[in-house]
């Protein structure tokens, strides 16, 4: 078990550019979550998948954000036409959901996005 | 929408003292309440969790209590040590499917030796 891995660790981009982040969950986990965290705040929920199905998306999430998990394993989060307000740490987490309940969320180290 | 309030935002204690952090939640359907510890520049890590069918859970120096009627839960750390210094986040399940976690804003705990 290598844990949740995210790539890249850091991304600096200019306003208006598109960026894409990748998350590889713990292999046996069927749920994958994306969160965003800014300095001094708790993680803010963006969206989550169970296998390849996107089950929920935050109502606060802009249309510029899209996430996919095409084969139910790794996931990508794309931000189009980035804005300075998108600067944050983007955290991925995974868990195992079953009829007996859910395992805790395990977080990755995050991708830090800076929009200049 | 769902909301999780956390207090205090900062907490400073002497080594060996106890620390208590309190959270309230708004969604009466919430059924799972984890606590995460986040050290500077690191990922949030689960330290303890409690489900809605339990009122209290303890793991060595850490305990969590849950009052579903009042919709609040608390983290208790006894015999604090300098390595307990970090930001602590409470969370509660939320959303249409109760599948995601709603986090509080965090409590920065400083343990002075």
Encode pLDDT of A30-46 as tens digits: 999 999 999 989 999 99
Q: State the average pLDDT over residues A60-71.
A: 91
Listed residue (B4, B6, B37, B39) closest to B21, CA to CA? B6
Average pLDDT over residues A85-108: 89
Say whether B96 and A56 touch across the interface (CB within 8 A): yes
Residue B90 predicted with pLDDT over 70:
yes
CB < 8 Å to B27, chain A: none
- Kindly tell me if the per-residue pLDDT of A1 is higher than 70: no
* Interior/surface letters B88-97, b for 16+ CB within 10 angstroms, e for the rest: bbbbbbbbee
pLDDT at position A100 over 70? no
Of residues B16 and B54, the one with the higher pLDDT is B16
Q: How far is the C-alpha of B63 from the C-alpha of B79, rounded, in Å?
A: 12
Using a CB–CB cutoff of 8 Å, tell me whether B101 touches chain A.
yes
Q: Rounded mean pLDDT of B75-102?
A: 90
* A31 DSSP β-pair partners: A50, A95
Whether the CB of B104 is below 8 Å from some CB of chain A: the reply is yes
What does the pLDDT read at residue A105?
A: 92
> Are the C-beta atoms of A16 and B59 separated by less than 8 Å?
no
Among A25, A33, A69, CA closest to A51: A69
Would you place residue A6 in the very low, low, confident or very high pLDDT band (cuts 50, 70, 90)?
very high
Residue B1 confidence (pLDDT) above 90: no
The two tokens of residue B60 are 């060595």
| CB hemisphere CA count around B108 (13 angstroms) | 6
Chain A residue numbers touching B86 (CB-CB < 8 A) = none
Q: Which residue of A6, A39, A45 to mutate against B (max B Cβ within 10 Å)?
A: A45
Residue B96 has a pLDDT of 67
- The number of residues in chain B equals 113
The mean pLDDT value of chain A amounts to 93
Q: How many CB pairs (< 8 A) connect A and B?
A: 58
Report chain B's mean pLDDT, rounded to a whole number.
93
Vertex B101 angle, CA B63 and A82, to 5°: 135
Q: Which letter does DSSP use for residue B27 in this model?
A: -
A2 CB neighbours in chain B (<8 A) are none
Would the CB atoms of B101 and A31 count as touching at under 8 Å? no
Q: Give percent of chain B above pLDDT 70.
A: 96
The minimum CA-CA distance between A49 and chain B, rounded to whole Å, is: 10
Chain A residues within 8 A (CB-CB) of chain B? Answer: 31, 33, 35, 40-45, 48, 50, 55-56, 59, 91, 97, 101-102, 104-110
pLDDT at B82: 96
pLDDT reported for residue A59: 83
Average pLDDT over residues A86-92: 97
Q: Calculate the dihedral angle through the C-alpha atoms of A44, A4, A17, A49, rounding to the nearest 10 degrees.
A: -60
CA B103 to chain CA centroid, nearest Å:
9
Backbone phi and psi for residue B88, each to the nearest 5 degrees, phi listed first? -110, 135
A94's tokens? 């995974």
Q: Is the pLDDT of residue A77 over 80?
A: yes
């Amino acid at each position: 078990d290598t844990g949740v891995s995210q790539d890249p660790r850091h991304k600096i981009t200019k306003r208006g550019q598109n960026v894409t982040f990748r998350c590889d969950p713990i292999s046996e986990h069927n749920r994958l979550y994306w969160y965003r965290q800014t300095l001094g705040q708790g993680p803010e929920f963006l969206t989550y998948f169970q296998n390849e199905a996107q089950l929920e998306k935050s109502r606060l999430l802009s249309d510029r954000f899209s996430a996919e998990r095409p084969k139910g394993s790794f996931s990508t989060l794309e931000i189009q036409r980035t804005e300075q307000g998108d600067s944050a740490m983007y955290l991925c987490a995974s868990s195992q959901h079953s009829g007996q309940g859910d395992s805790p969320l395990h977080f990755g180290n995050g991708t830090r996005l800076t929009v200049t | 929408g769902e909301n999780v309030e956390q207090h205090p935002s900062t907490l400073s204690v002497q080594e060996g003292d106890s620390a208590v952090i309190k959270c309230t939640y708004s969604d009466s359907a919430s059924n799972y309440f984890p606590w995460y510890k986040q050290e500077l520049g690191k990922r949030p890590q689960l330290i303890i969790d409690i489900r809605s069918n339990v009122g209290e859970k303890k793991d060595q120096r850490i305990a969590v209590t849950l009052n579903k009627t009042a919709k609040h839960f608390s983290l208790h750390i006894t015999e604090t040590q300098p390595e307990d210094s970090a930001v602590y986040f409470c969370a509660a399940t939320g959303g249409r499917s109760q599948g995601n976690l709603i986090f509080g804003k965090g409590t920065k705990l400083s343990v002075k030796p």
